[in-house]
Structure 1
Amino acid sequence: MLICAILDQKIDSRKNGDDCTFNGYLEDYLSLETTELDPVLKEAFAAIQEKEPETKIAVGLRSEINNDAISNQIIRYKDVFKLNGKPLIYPYVLYLKKENNEKALLVVPYSSYGFIKAKGLYYCMTEPGSEFIDCKNDIVAICSDSAEKIVDTFTSLFTARAGALQRGIDRISFTNYEDLKAAALKAAEQLKEEAPAVLAALEDRSAKISEYVTEWFLLKKVLYVQYMVNKNILNSVHEGNVKKQRNQAKINADEITFLSYSEMWRTTGAPAKEEAEEAAPEETPAEA
């Protein structure tokens, strides 16, 4: 099934569905009084709608964690499998059928490490076993603070190969795997440091805990998959030995630090390091 056909079937909350919060024409979404977008996305989406009036958008598209995906089994981040329902949320998916071609752009709101989240979501969206696996060459993921870049990328979906487009986007955010890894480790540590105070202030922590677990999972996912798809690393570092490459990819993913599921429920708001000294975590970030 093609990408637009799959997305058209998603039922949003307006129709009592749980697939997404909105699914329909971009023009209709932009006209809703309840629509809240940051300035960059507001400008970008308005420009896209003007250029391509038939564009549709799925907002807050949700999906389950694919327990059977090989990469997820190797990463073995146990906490993510404790999450119920559809914890993965794809912020905005713009899609369009044009001249017998169907394309989609996954858009993640800009943040310091949003580009890593965008890649992680893309890998989840297109991994083996996903309903979008056969559409992976029709989807591009972007996180940008430039409305013009988002618009240009959407327009280019129909004139350039998705892989080439994605590589161009990636090069803006990181130059090599080590740069990506350093950014992912920093993002993980930042989440770990902020989580105790954020969670302690909430009456109901469940949704935020799910969000944190998902964020750490995506960081692990990117470090694992991005390493495995790098043929240059396979040949120059591991001499063509995929088993060695896979082992190192898992080691890289294990370097992502996090608070365990139980730690986040117990936290009183003290810095994570202080609480870790008081009680051993249920599981350690680095798993054998």
Structure 2
Amino acid sequence: MENIGLNKQPFVAGEVALVGAGPGDPDLLTIQAYRFIQQAEVAIYDRLVSEQIMALLPSHCERVYVGKKQAQHHLPQEGINQLLVDYAKQGKKVVRLKGGDPFVFGRGGEEAQYLLANDIACHIVPGMTAASACTSYAGIPLTHRKVARSSTFITGHLQENGELDLPWQVLNDKQQTVVFYMGVKSLPIITEQLINAGRLPSTPAALIRKGTTPEQQVFKGQLSNLNDIVIQHQVKPPTLIVIGDVVNTFDDKQLTQLGYLSPINV
């Protein structure tokens, strides 16, 4: 029997592929992701999947939008789960296009569990998560020798009770880069709690809006004035929050030499 390799099984009718579409730039798609996209008969896609990536789908592919905004779900997660099962049982090759990586704040694990519980085979296709892709496009290394020896990815999504219950004391290491997804609305809580936990108010920080897309904006400041930047520049989601000394690794001249847009420094 031929060894086709790990995760190289063919995509057959009645299966679902959970495909990480990355943060927006189609150049960041993996070859594996492109291979599944090209075979899709049905694409169930999120709000953050870019138009350029959607354009890669076959012309005959049915497109089903299930996007979510904070506290505004076009279709509840339970409905998305069932939708995947229903299309697969119709004998379709179903691609679930998810912004970033399916297993990084993408509920890919929940969807895979539901599919398997309903005897639907599924493929997991990794994608570039925003924390690594958007920071790279902004010229911010997540780790840097003698500056940051670790990085932590956290969802800033508020809980139903309006609180953000996180191990704040663990996040006060000066040599740790902290990246918040979905944290614009909870930014006042984030900055207050980090400072209370011991992070200096002067800690460099950045906001990366629509990273890797033509609309990318980068705002740099300090932990203490991040919320003021959001208000002043009307920064809205999708925006990544990066906190740590790595934010200032390169100055504006160096960023230009590297081919990056100069950030808005506030």
- The bucket for the TM-score relative to the shorter chain is under 0.3
| Higher relative contact order structure (alpha carbons within 8 Å, sequence separation ≥ 6) | 2
Query: Which one has a larger percent helix, Structure 1 or Structure 2?
Result: 1
Instruction: Tell me the TM-score normalised to structure 1 length.
Output: 0.25
